[in-house]
Amino acid sequence: MMKKRLLLLLGVLCVIQSLSAFADKVVLAELCPLLVGEWQGSAANPSLDPMAVTTSVMCSADQRNLYISVSRGSRFSNSETWWFRQQQDKVLLLYGNGVTADVTQQLTLYRQSGSYSFLGKGEINQRPALVQLQFDPIKATADKPQGGWQWQQSAHYLDDDSEQYQVVRALSLYPQ
């Protein structure tokens, strides 16, 4: 069993390495101006029905800090905060929801074909996981002429034999 987990971990690390070969490592200053503002949309996860949320995104003046607040009711009775801080070539994430203990993770930010992904190792649902926070642009349509972003939070659980990321939650972000 331990040998199988080691092989799985090596396989997953190879996937991350291959992603970095096709994607460019970037800093928060590139993503910050694209996300700043007030957003509305829906949030969904595999165990709950989608619900309406509002999301506020702010950047520090030097664009080394990105702060995202997801409105009350998205998953907990309190709002959620996501604070991303640029530290050399890594991004430190501090996540809080006022219900569970705050979570700190170290991530790397990549850009590929207009999408942005934060990747790193952490823990989700008390399980060790490779974490991916993906921001994909949503094209403008007749009913949403400014387009928006799809924010997908995924995990590849290291204690699972699967070789795929599982969606933990997704949020749509449209300008208010």
Ranges of each domain in the chain: 2-175
As a dihedral over the C-alpha atoms of residue 16, residue 75, residue 173, residue 96, rounded to 10 degrees, the angle is -60
How many other C-beta atoms are found inside a 10 Å radius of the C-beta of residue 93? 20
Q: What is the pTM of this model?
A: 0.83
pLDDT of residue 76: 65
35 vs 15, more confident: 35
- Reduced to 3 states (helix: H, G, I; strand: E, B; else coil), residue 34 is helix
Confidence of residue 73 (pLDDT cuts 50, 70, 90): low
pLDDT at 72 over 50: yes
Query: CA-to-CA distance for 159 and 9, rounded, in angstroms?
Result: 9
| The domain over range 2-175 is classified in CATH as 2.40.128 | yes
Which position has the token pair 């208010």? 176
**CA 43 to the chain's CA centroid:** 13
pLDDT of residue 99: 87
Confidence of residue 147 (pLDDT cuts 50, 70, 90): very high
pLDDT at 18 over 50: no
36 vs 45, more confident: 36
109 vs 3, more confident: 109
pLDDT of residue 118: 98
pLDDT of residue 42: 93
Least confident range of 13-22, 45-54, 97-106, 117-126:
13-22
Confidence of residue 47 (pLDDT cuts 50, 70, 90): confident
7 vs 39, more confident: 39
Burial class from Cβ neighbours inside 10 Å (0-12, 13-18, 19+) for residue 21 reads exposed
Query: CA-to-CA distance for 121 and 160, rounded, in angstroms?
Result: 15
Q: What are phi and psi for residue 160, nearest 5 degrees? A: -120, 140
Tokens of 12: 């997953």
pLDDT of residue 2: 43
Residue 68 near residue 82 (C-beta atoms within 8 A): yes
